[in-house]
Structure formats: structure tokens, C-alpha cells
Structure 1
Amino acid sequence: MLKIGDNFSSKKLFHYYEIGVENQVASINIGETLRKARIDKKISLDELQQRTKIQKRYLLAIEENDFQELPSDYYLRTFIRQYADEVKLDGNHLIDVLDGKDRPLPNYPELETVDELRKNKHAENPTRARFRATLPMIILGLVALAIISVVGYMTWLDHQETAIIPENSSVQVERSDVSSSAAEKVSTSQPKPTTESSKKPEKPKMAFAMENNTTNAATMKIEHAEKPLKITFTGKERVWVGVQINGALTYQYTLQPGESQTTELPADAAQAIITVGMAKYAEVKVNDQALDFQPGDSLLQKNVTLNIAYAS
């Protein structure tokens, strides 16, 4: 399957087109289905172009199943979903048709396990079965006997003990009382440290602030960030994500539904740009704290600029 950044050779395009045709034959004609739905809704290609912001030539290519005309696999899937949403079709089902996931799987008879085969061949020995049934009772009896023995031994020791302090040790006790009182006087004469001075100042927690936000872009400030700064992406659906540092793409990945991936920013990075292919299909965390970049229900790409201020 083609990915963002792949070079389109004629061999790749032909293979990619063959896969698309095979999947269409397996279920429905994707382009024809979308075109009929558009006509039923009385929507022209020009009007559809204004609604979806997709160029007309790409809309025509999708209707004609000419998928090699699309820039990449990512844009093909995104455009099919947007087209389907506008004509009230299930875009995820069309993507499944594109991937060939709608074909029925072959049914195979269930095989008996080894244990079941052994049980069928050999019946369990009656004596062994009775022993297994009584084994828990035997174990409980042994545990109870051990507890009774320990309690009895401890009781016997209590009766055998003598006085810990002999009668002729009264002088030593009095001296110990005097020394303890003197120690108390010395300790009370010394100033006690205050509770406030003994406590260490708490570090301020990392905080996010939204500075600017639109459908396609947002600018957020991160204060008191702890190094290293880790970005964790979790996909709600299949979605592409990326990270740019100083204008260079340092990380990119296509998440599957429920999958999470983490990348670490350079220690001196004061700014980073996070890109989500379809905003509502991804969740983002920074150092395990949720980043509310306000994706809403947008299926469009969103770039989130993070201005980072690290904790001193």
C-alpha cells in the first residue's frame, strides 16, 4: 500500500490500480456508488468541490475509479470519506471495500483439542477421582492443625516467662528517669525548626494554554515542562500523525484503531508542530497529560504548534 512520501513509479501505480479493481469486483463499484448518490442528492461536481474543498479533478478521478490520479493513499482514503459524508454514505464501509475487508471468510470445522481426544479415549481412574475430590479437605485439615500447634506453643511460652526487671534494679530505673528528665529539659531549651522551613517548595505543575485556534490550526503554550518531553498519540480510527521540529519532519506514523505510539522531543526543542491527518480520529498526550487541541468533529488535517517553556 502506498504511503505519504513514496515516489509514484509506473509499476507501483499499476499494482495499486490492480488492487483497487480487485476490491471493487469483490463487492461494489466505489466510484459508481458515490456518483449515483451525488446525482440522487442533486449535487453538482462544482457544488461538491465547494463543500469538501477537494479539487474537481480528484472528484472525477474517484468517480471513474481512477485512483492512481490521487496524490497518495492517505489523500485517497480521506477524500473518499469526505465525499461519502456529503452524500450520506458510510465512508468506512467504502474503505473496507477498497481494502477487500468485506469479503466473507471461509468457514472451517472446529477441531477437537488434544485434551478432549484424551478424555474420549481414556476414562479417569475412579480412585484417582476420589483422591482429587478429598484433596482440598486434607489440605485444610493440615493448615488448621498447624495453626493450633503454633497457638499452643505460644501459650506455653507465656507461662514460662519470668519477670523482665528484677527487684534489685530499682536504683537503675530511678537513674534512668533522672537522665530522661534532664534530656527533656535540654531538648526543650533548643529551638525547634518550624514546619514551614522544613518543607521543600513544590514544583509548579505543567500547564497548557490555548493561544489561537481554528479548524485547521491551533497554537498552544506549554509552561513548566519537564525534560524530556514525550508526545503520545492514540488512534480512535486509522489516522496519520507527524511531528516537525525546526521545519523538519522528525516523526510520522499511521495509527490503527486503539493503537498508541510515543515519540520524544529533543531536549532543546522550544517549538514543535504536531500534525493530525484527521483531527477527530486521534488523541494526544504530553508527558501523560491530555492535550486538548480542540479537534471537534473535523475530518480535516490539523496542525498544532506547541511553544514550550521548560521548568527551571
Structure 2
Amino acid sequence: MSELGAELRRARLERGLTLDDVQDSTKIRKRYLEAIEEGNYNVLPGNFYVRAFVKNYCEAVGLDADQILSQYGKEIPSASLETETEPSIAARPPRRSQPSQRSERFGKVGFSVLMWSFLILILILVYVFAIRKDSPPPKTADNNTSITDEVRPPSDNGTDQTAGEGRGTGTDTQGTGETAEPETEPEKPATTVTFREKEGNIDHYDVAPAGDHKLEIVVTNGQSWIEVREERKGGKARISKTVDPDNTLTYDLDKPLYVNVGRADNVEIKIDDIVVDDGNRPNSKK
């Protein structure tokens, strides 16, 4: 193993990352990462790619790429003018499938059903229009006919009875002293965190009910690598660095978040004060 490879491997292990984790973040094949750690640069597709791969490896494990390239520049082979590339397999154009006899038959049947449905709709419209045309017009009231001949005398107190009735419909009922009680707001349901599935090395959790929640990452015993990204593993990074103990990171959980901790035994993850089981192991948890 070369000195450069040993430095990269040490930084990777300190952050609790595997070669698979570095492969996912850098998109560099695992066998190339192993070759870099072992100093076997002949495995790489060409000298031109060595510096680019080493730089991406450094950024993935938190090292200063420019400093590493300057320090181990003599160990890295120089890039040649001609670069070798891996042969790519040309994608074959999709084969167009010929319509089968069954599809043609279903097409004819569907067209026939559509034509008959259209004809039936026209007959229904003609029938409804004929009924409305033959029905007599609605009776209307004569403008010269009075609505009522009844004359209501005024009440004894000189006020209209209807006014008294109107006053009796308020929320405060006279005579009983009862008033309408104010409506109380329903209590907010408690937060639940449910394990849904494991996809590769990532555990997925569902948080209910829908709405805003708080995510807290508490670094307790020692340092730990913390990575938080929006929506998914390759989403926009909120944080990606080593965090000292006695620090708490808080995020609004109004959208899906991807969390990666290097030392699960040094970190406590909580959602609305509900602790998420991370196994409490001395390795990474995603």
C-alpha cells in the first residue's frame, strides 16, 4: 500500500465510511478506489484519470485535495496526452413491436362501442327536448292579485310582534340565562415514527401525521461525521462534516431528509422528542 493510499484509507475509516459509501458519493467504481488505496494505478483506465479520482476521493472523506495532490504529487503518475477510455456498449435502438391481431380486433370493437354510445346520446337529447317542448308553461301569479287580505293589528306595547320574535333568536336566551359555550380546538395528534423498509444499507422511516416536524441530531460522547441532505441521498447538502460532542443540530422536517452518521454510538437522533433506534453501534447509520 502506498503512502497516499494509506492516508486516504485512514481518513475514510475515521469517518466510518466503507468503499461502497465512497463509491455512491463519488460515482467512482469500487475496484478503482481499491486500486488507489493499494497504489496500483495500472488498474485505472488511464493516467489522466488518476488525479481526478484522487481529488474526488479526498473531497468524499473530508481531506484537502490540493494539499494531498501537492504532498504526494511525485507518487501520482503524470497524465499523458492520449487517454485511454473504457469501451462503451452502444445502446441498441428499441425494437418496434408490430400491432397484433388481438389489438386490431379490440380497436374495432372500441370504435363500434363509441359510435353506438354517440347515437344513443343523440336520441336521449332529442327525447328530452321533445318532452320540455310539449310540457305546459309554469303558472305565474297575477300582478293585480294581492298576496293576502289579512290585516294584523299592532300589539299592546306599540311594537311589531315580528320584531319581538327577531330579538328572541339571539344566542343569549332571556329567561334561562344560558349562553352558547365557545368551541374548543381539537387536540393535535401525537407524532409517530414507524420503520417502513430497508433499501440497501439505508433504513426508511415514516413520520405521521402529515405536517411540520422537528429533527434533532445530538452528538453526545465523541466526534461523529454528520451528513444531512434534502429529499434523497444525492440531494442538496445541509451539512457534511465532523461535529464535536455536546452539539445539537436541528432541522425542519417539512420534506424528506437523508441522514448519515459516522458513529451511531456517539449520536442520538430524535423527531419531536421521539428517539429513533439507530442500533447504537460504533459504525455508520443511514
Q: TM-score, structure 2 length as denominator?
A: 0.35
Specify which structure has the higher proportion of helix. Answer: 1
